[in-house]
Amino acid sequence: MDKIGEDKIDESTDELEVESEEKESGEEIEVNEEELPSRAMAIHEHIRQDGEKELERDAMALLWSAVAAGLSMGASLLAKGIFHVHLEGIPGGFLLESLGYTFGFIIVIMARQQLFTENTVTAVLPVMHKPTSTNFKLLFRLWGVVLFGNLIGTGLAALAFEFMPIFDEATRDAFVSIGMEVMQNTPGEMFANAIISGWIIATMVWMFPAAGAAKILVIILMTWLIALGNTTHIVVGTVEILYLVFNGTIHWSDFFWPFALPTLAGNICGGTFIFALLSHAQIRNDMATQKKEKANAQAKSERVIAQKEQEARRAAR
C-alpha cells in the first residue's frame, strides 16, 4: 500500500471513535462482579471494553496482525496433515488427527493476532450497546480489514505448502484429502456447519474472562470440538481449499462457491446474529436495573444536597 493510501486510512481512523455512554458521561464502568448486577454482565462488560479497543485500532496494525493470523492458521492444516499420515489405519486415529486442528488457533489467540471469527463477538458488543452509524462504520472497517488480512495470510500459507519443497508426497496427499473432505459439503451444508463453528468460537471468547490460566485448555477443547464435528470455518478452511486451488485439484470459482461465501455467512450468523444477540439480550435487564439504581442514587444525593443547602440558608438567617 502506498504512502497516500496509508495516510487516508490513518485519517479516516482518527476521525472515528467508538461512541458509548461512558465516553459521553466521562465515567467508565468498572468490570467488578461485586459492583455489577450479575456475573454475566461483568463478562459482557469485559468483552465489550476489549471490543472498543479493537474497533479503534489503527487499520494498518489490524491488517498486519490479520496477515500474521492467516499464516499462523496454516499450522492447523500442517498438524492435521502430518497426523493424518502417521495415524492412518489406527483405531481412533480421527480423534488425534482432529487435535491437529487446534494448533493454529492456539498460536493465533495466545499471540493476540487478529482472527476474523473472534471479532464477530468482541467487536459486535460495543455496537449492540450503542448502535450508532459511527460504531457500525468501525465494525465494518474492522471486519473488512481483518478478513482481508486473514485471506492474504492463508493464501501465502497455502502457496508455501504447495510450491516449497517441504513435504513428502504422503503429506501432500493428506492435504488434498483434508481439503476434498470439506468440498464434499453442499453450499447449504457449508452454511449450516459454519453456524455451529461460529457459535463455538463465540462461546470460547465468552469463556476467556473467567478462564484465567486455563485459557489454552479452553482453546484446545473448543476448537477440537469444531474439528470433531467436521464443521466449516472461513479462515482454517481457506488454507485447506486454497491448497487445492494452487494444487490444481479444483478451480478458483469453487473456492468462492460452494465454500467461502456460505461459510463466511454461516460464521457471521452463528457468532454474531445468534450468540452475540442472545448474550447481549440476557444482560439488558441488568443494564436497565443498574441505570435505574444509579438514577435513584443520584436523585437521592441531589435531594440531600438541596436539603443541606436549605438548612444552611435557614441557619444564616
Let me know if residue 290 belongs to a domain.
no
For the chain, helix (H) and strand (E) counts, in that order, are 18, 0
pLDDT range class, residue 305, cuts 50, 70, 90: confident
pLDDT range class, residue 15, cuts 50, 70, 90: low
Let me know if residue 2 belongs to a domain.
no
* Closest among 162, 140, 139 to 247, alpha carbons compared: 162
The per-residue pLDDT for 31 is 53
Confidence check: pLDDT of 288 > 90: no
> CA torsion sign, 58 to 60 to 61 to 63?
positive
CA distance 141 to 137: 6
The per-residue pLDDT for 210 is 83
The per-residue pLDDT for 24 is 56
Global pTM? 0.81
Say which residues have a Cβ less than 8 Å from residue 276's Cβ, sequence separation at least 6: 120, 121, 124, 125, 128, 202
Q: Is residue 194 a contact partner of residue 232, using CB atoms and an 8 Å limit?
A: yes
The per-residue pLDDT for 286 is 60
Q: What is the CATH number of the domain that holds 100?
A: 1.20.1080.10
The per-residue pLDDT for 116 is 92
Q: Is residue 275 a contact partner of residue 188, using CB atoms and an 8 Å limit?
A: no
Residue range 161-189, pLDDT digits in tens: 999 999 999 999 999 999 999 999 999 99
Percent of the chain exceeding pLDDT 70 equals: 81
Cα angle 232, 234, 240 (rounded to 5 degrees) comes to 75
Q: Containing domain of residue 183, as a range?
A: 33-282
Mean pLDDT value across the chain = 84
Let me know if residue 77 belongs to a domain.
yes
Q: Is residue 78 a contact partner of residue 64, using CB atoms and an 8 Å limit?
A: no
Residue range 204-237, pLDDT digits in tens: 988 898 888 899 999 999 999 999 999 999 999 9
Let me know if residue 47 belongs to a domain.
yes
Confidence check: pLDDT of 150 > 80: yes
How many structural domains is the chain composed of? 1
The per-residue pLDDT for 296 is 62
The per-residue pLDDT for 20 is 66
Let me know if residue 239 belongs to a domain.
yes
Alpha-carbon dihedral 25, 136, 273, 74, rounded to 10 degrees: -110
pLDDT range class, residue 6, cuts 50, 70, 90: very low
Residue range 116-125, pLDDT digits in tens: 988 777 888 8
Confidence check: pLDDT of 259 > 80: yes
The per-residue pLDDT for 92 is 87
Let me know if residue 202 belongs to a domain.
yes
Let me know if residue 101 belongs to a domain.
yes
Would you give the end-to-end CA distance of the chain in angstroms? 75
The per-residue pLDDT for 42 is 74
Let me know if residue 292 belongs to a domain.
no
* Closest among 260, 271, 238, 102 to 190, alpha carbons compared: 260
Residue range 62-84, pLDDT digits in tens: 999 999 999 999 999 999 999 99
